Amino acid sequence: MRKLLVTGGAGFIGSNFVHHVVDHTDDHVTVLDKLTYAGNRASLDGLPADRVELVVGDITDAALVDSLFENADAVVHYAAESHNDNSLNDPRPFLDTNIIGTYTLLEAARKHGTRLHHISTDEVYGDLELDDPERFTENTPYNPSSPYSSTKAGSDLLVRAWVRSFGVQATISNCSNNYGPYQHVEKFIPRQITNVIRGIRPKLYGKGENVRDWIHADDHSSAVLTILDGGRIGETYLIGADGEKDNKTVVELILTLMGQPADAYDHVTDRAGHDLRYAIDSTKLRTELGWQPQYRDFEAGLAATIDWYKATEAWWAADKDGVEAFYASKGQ
């Protein structure tokens, strides 16, 4: 039985990964999570106590991190401040967690010789024009545009430097936008779904032309596990599921799936510096490691996600009013 340490494992993508590991391996998982507003103990409910342990703590706590690395066969690093709108409001936590936290983990991996996989984002590459036929690849130059994406880019470069300079056994993955269960209601898709549930009109930034390359969180999880098991040390793998959709289309699909008129939403003030388009070319991951996404039908995956939020209001309700108050203060 392999012993995994998963940072940020009570957050959205991290908790989905923990569920995936429990369902598809016999690994034991220790979750290290600070339980900030984006982490939720309830996201780990129902998992077997003999296989999943939660340690509440900060990845910048070097002594704690060192003690956990001593007993880990491999570490998957999800912990991050990840919401663009929050980074525009207060960048400092993004520097602390994404830069200093990643450095702390790298030093522990260096000391203990522990295998590390670093989770990152396609936002480090900046954005593409709406009519550009190109997609991001592992060779696309970094061009981050926000405090969030710039700190993630910095963390990626730290990983690469520690691999080259100190021989740390690490890989990196950059993934497109995730959707699925356990996502905080501040994020685009769950915000619109929970608005409709609450009888609030969904909100669309600007004209809604911005394009995101959507992937179900379970497909992200299977890709990470594939890289952890077979990825080449020092390599970067892009994870995507060919799910490009503009925001307007997504909002209208949510409304239609929830039995509402497709135009029953409001246009609001656009996000400052809003990236136009993200698109992932995951050829390397698919050809080198044989990975394939399972959720190829975005509408079906979205319908299942809507059903999850309808059934789990107790999981998200406590955060909803505060999120809407924050956006209302910004005219969004």
Instruction: Give the angle subtended at the CA of 137 by the CAs of 135 and 140, to the nearest 5°.
Output: 95
The set of catalytic residues is 122-123, 148
Residue 272's pLDDT is: 82
- pLDDT one-digit tens code per residue, 146-204: 999 999 999 999 999 999 999 999 999 999 999 999 999 999 999 999 999 999 999 99
- Number of domains making up the chain: 1
pTM score of the predicted model: 0.96
Kindly state whether residue 55 falls inside one of the protein's structural domains.
Answer: yes
Give the CATH number of the domain where residue 70 resides: 3.40.50.720
What pLDDT, on the 0 to 100 scale, is given for residue 236?
98
pLDDT score of 192: 97
Q: Is 230 left (phi over 0), alpha (psi -120 to 50) or beta?
A: alpha
Q: Which residues in the chain come in under a pLDDT of 50?
A: none
Count CB atoms within 10 A of the CB of residue 321. Answer: 11
Indicate whether 125 belongs to any domain: yes
DSSP per-residue string spanning 149-216: HHHHHHHHHHHHHHHHHH---EEEEEE--EESTT--TTSHHHHHHHHHHHTPPPEEETTS--EEE-EE
Q: What is the pLDDT of residues 203-237, one digit of tens each?
A: 999 999 999 999 999 999 999 999 999 999 999 99
**Within a domain: 204:** no
Question: Would you report the helix, strand and coil content of the chain in percent, each value rounded to 5?
Answer: 45, 15, 40
The Cα 5–Cα 14 span in angstroms is: 11
Q: Is 115 helix (H, G, I), strand (E, B) or coil?
A: strand
pLDDT of residue 269: 86
pLDDT at 69: 98
- 108/69 Cα distance (integer angstroms): 7
Domain membership of residue 47 as a residue range: 3-178+214-239
Question: Is residue 314 included in any domain, yes or no?
Answer: no
Q: Which of 189, 185, 181 is nearest to 252 (CA)?
A: 189
Residue 117 lies in a domain: yes
The pLDDT of residue 174 is 98
Give the pair of three-digit tokens for residue 286: 């698919």
**Sign of the torsion formed by the C-alpha atoms of 100, 102, 105 and 106:** negative
Residue 308 maps to a domain = no
The H or E element spanning position 266 is: strand 266-268
- Is 111 inside any structural domain? yes
197 lies in some domain: no
